[in-house]
Amino acid sequence: MAATAKAQKGRDDSKPKKARPHSRPDPLRAYRQKRDFSQTPEPAEGGQSSAAGLQYVIQKHWASRLHYDLRLELQGTMKSWAVPKGPSYDPADKRMAVQVEDHPISYNTFEGEIPLRQYGAGQVIVWDKGWWEPVGDAEKGYRQGKLKFVLHGHKLQGRWALVRMQGRRSDKQPAWLLVKEHDEFARPASEFSVVDALPDSVSALPPAAAPRTPGMVQADRGALPPVAAKASPLPERLKPQLATLADAPPAEPAQWLWELKFDGYRLLARIDKGSVRLFTRNGNDWTDRMPGLAADLARLPIESAWLDGEVLMFDSQGRPDFQALQNAFDGPSTRGLVYYLFDLPYAQGKDLRQLSVVDRREMLRALVGRSESSAIRFSEAFEARAEDLVASACRLGFEGVIGKRKTAPYASQRTADWIKLKCHHRQEFVIGGFTDPQGTRVGLGSLLLGVHTDNGALRYVGNVGTGFTDRSLAGLHRKLSRLACGRNPFSNAGATPKNAHWVQPRLLAEVSFAEWTQQGKIRHSVFHGLRDDKPATAVVRERARRLPPAQDAPAAGQQPGPLKVTHPERVVDPATGVKKLDVVRYYARVAPLLMEYVKDRPVALLRAPDGVEGQRFFQKHLDTGSMDGIEELDPALHEGHPPLLAIASPQGLLAGAQMNVIEYHSWNARKDRILRPDRMTFDLDPGDQVPWEQVQEAAQLVRVLLQELGLAAFLKTSGGKGLHVITPIKRLHDWETVKGFSRALVQHLASTLPQRFVAKSGPRNRVGKIFVDYLRNGFGATTACAWTARARPGMGISVPVAWSELDSLTSGAHWTIRTVEQRLAIGNSPWSGYAKAATSITGAMKKLGFRPARPHDARQ
């Protein structure tokens, strides 16, 4: 019977079948099969090709491992590759790129959280976006496993290649290599890492320039991580940020970018739904004086913005000509003006002022790249020694260079985050009078110049008699004659020339000069033109400042002040290349978070003067000297010993890092009730041969036991091998009771699950097992606090986490000083309920059957 059926089946199969219509395989089938769209916010399908070109995106994806998803539009979908280390501008770096399922074009804009237990669970941001151009036949290159292309993104530019490694093309996830080709954008990895320098989302940026103009939107290089921009209505007025005159380049050149100092007028442009208004730095509305420029700005592809830049005019040699600019404003037309843009404080309903200079410039470059007007230009930055740039600028006829601290926000005032280095002395002066011409000269002989003192008096500082033309002399004479007065306006009238003609001190002269004399006069002065973009009362002597040798990166929230860092380039961790300055910057970044866990608590400082591989020691007392932000506590808190230490302010974290402190450990009690701990700490310390999965399981078991006893449990990575479970408690019991109870709890675990736990310390006792260290709960004991770095190779960080994140952790050092920014960028608060979770342990002790000894002095 079975044989007959089999034979019959064979005969049926041999019959010719009717041809079926050809159906193209669904390219998104694998994508949809892996996702439950009732749970994940990812798009199921959709999205269209753009007429501007083939779309490209890289999404930064914190899944079980951080990686970068490269997507190129091809054949109606986004061909996708997971790049674990991300792209590199170094052609020598061949980055693994594992091909994954095609994604819909609509996925290009996806940002958000993929929920737990969903495919690819974790945070996703749009790290870069733009357009790509195939080099040759894209489909052929894709089939043959050698796809070459040009990228036009906000962060990635130039020629790249995807090369499929040897293996079967039918592999579900073929391995490719992503390689940067040699071109003008290539850079050695030792100089620049694009994934480290530009870590954040570009979703708020305007679209990158289309491929029709290659290289138009090259990203600024060397940025520290930005702060998220906030929504804000467009202000009616905006004061510009002003630069401070410096007498020398800064001591930390890698923290600065440099632009040419243009010889023009500062100009801010306000764009609001096609309406453009142009303002001088003093807030004067000059829109009517530059109608052509206003019209060009109105055609920019942006609805609302404040733009900051300099308007100037070039001479026949292509050099800025301030006199020509002045003549243009004095004449009937301002045609020929060029507007160089260098900052973007507001855009598209967002206040960008708290972003770094580099991130604001990145957005501005993309916007200017889409302008069709030759009058609107982007002020390029240069990467070279400041001294060489100043020399080059002077040879080219520019005024000097402007330096901007890469991490600096935009501040509507004069700050030391923007500095100017000039080719020669040059500034504005108030005109208080003039002398008669001599010989064949007409109009006037020289202008008498002054500046205001601190008390507002106008002080005479010399004159200028060169740099004029016959036209400028005649124009100046007419203007000054209308301001004639019979009184000398200078406070030091005895120093002024005799037989001068006095005028009301309203006009400003732009003058260059060789030097200031000891008597406060200028020498070898040259007139460049009049200025009317600032009030005369604002003109003072411009004095060069010497910048401090080094400054910290500012932290959000509670900000530490400036700190001089000695030996900032000293390597602390040879395994990662982390330097001393990196440690200082890290503590500046996390100071507001870390302070929450050390405030009002005695601390111990782990110092590593020779780095993590050298000698390390704890410091619990100040011994000699002092440290800013670190205070000595009342000696009565620990009688018979030197005073304990506490971190009084965020500055203390930085002062400690300057003194080679790597780790901050804190007590389980606060200084106001030192004999009553307010938390219990359980340090899960795995022995040799214990797999990580058992450490995760052990943490869950500790949590379950604590919950059964009616106690809360909070989790954090240790920054080392294990995990920490923290239980907040009410301050009702002494140290001996709390320590005894925590010991009893660990002994209960060890007796219940002897194959997993051990209640005795020491390496021999915990081979293949986990010692839950309760000794942290004794008087004087400390534990590495939340957000401290660890003095171990790799520089792990102790990070608070939610219990729902436990399964995604890869080790106790899941985050390191190099990668913790990934965590900080998410900005969640896994311990948000900690403050209200404290309970008495009295009930828990009864449930466990623990009877404390008779109370006595816990310090004995």
Indicate which residues carry an active-site annotation: 261
First to last CA, the chain: 91
Sign of the Cα torsion 542, 337, 373, 394 reads negative
Nearest Cα neighbor of 56 from 157, 144, 168, 201 is 157
Residue written as token pair 């020289």: 446
Phi and psi at residue 124, in whole multiples of 5°? -130, 135
Question: Residue 103 forms beta bridges with which residues?
Answer: 78
Residue written as token pair 């959709």: 46
Phi and psi at residue 230, in whole multiples of 5°? -110, 150
Sign of the Cα torsion 46, 50, 55, 59 reads negative
3-class SS shares of the chain: helix, strand, coil, % to 5 = 25, 30, 50
Task: Tell me the C-alpha distance between 556 and 163, whole Å.
Answer: 43
Task: Tell me the C-alpha distance between 268 and 234, whole Å.
Answer: 13
The pair of structure tokens assigned to 464 is 């200028």
Residue type, 81: W
The pair of structure tokens assigned to 110 is 């996806």
Crossing angle for the helix pair 650-658 and 580-598, to the nearest 10 degrees:
140
Exposed/middle/buried for residue 501 (C-beta within 10 Å: 0-12, 13-18, 19+): middle
Nearest Cα neighbor of 280 from 249, 300, 308 is 308
Nearest Cα neighbor of 346 from 231, 243, 471 is 231
Residue type, 580: K
In 10 A of CB 537, how many CB atoms? 12
User: Please, what's the b/e burial string for 682-713 (b: 16 or more CB within 10 A of its CB; e: otherwise)?
Assistant: bbbbbbeebeeebbeebbebbbebbeebebbb
E-only strand ranges, 471-586: 501-502, 508-513, 515-516, 522-523, 526-531, 571-573, 578-579
Q: Half-sphere exposure (CA, 13 Å, Cβ side) for 788?
A: 26
- Kindly compute the dihedral angle of the four CA atoms of residues 368, 372, 375, 377, in this order, to the nearest 10 degrees: 20
Question: Residue 529 forms beta bridges with which residues?
Answer: 510
Contact 645, 621 (CB under 8 A): yes
Task: Tell me the C-alpha distance between 667 and 776, whole Å.
Answer: 9
Residue written as token pair 């206003």: 294
In 10 A of CB 434, how many CB atoms? 24
Task: Tell me the C-alpha distance between 724 and 58, whole Å.
Answer: 35
Strands 526-531 and 508-513, sheet pairing: antiparallel
Radius of gyration of the CA atoms of the chain, in A = 34
Task: Tell me the C-alpha distance between 324 and 510, whole Å.
Answer: 13
**What is the DSSP code (8-state) at residue 233?**
P
* H and E: helices and strands count for the chain: 15, 42
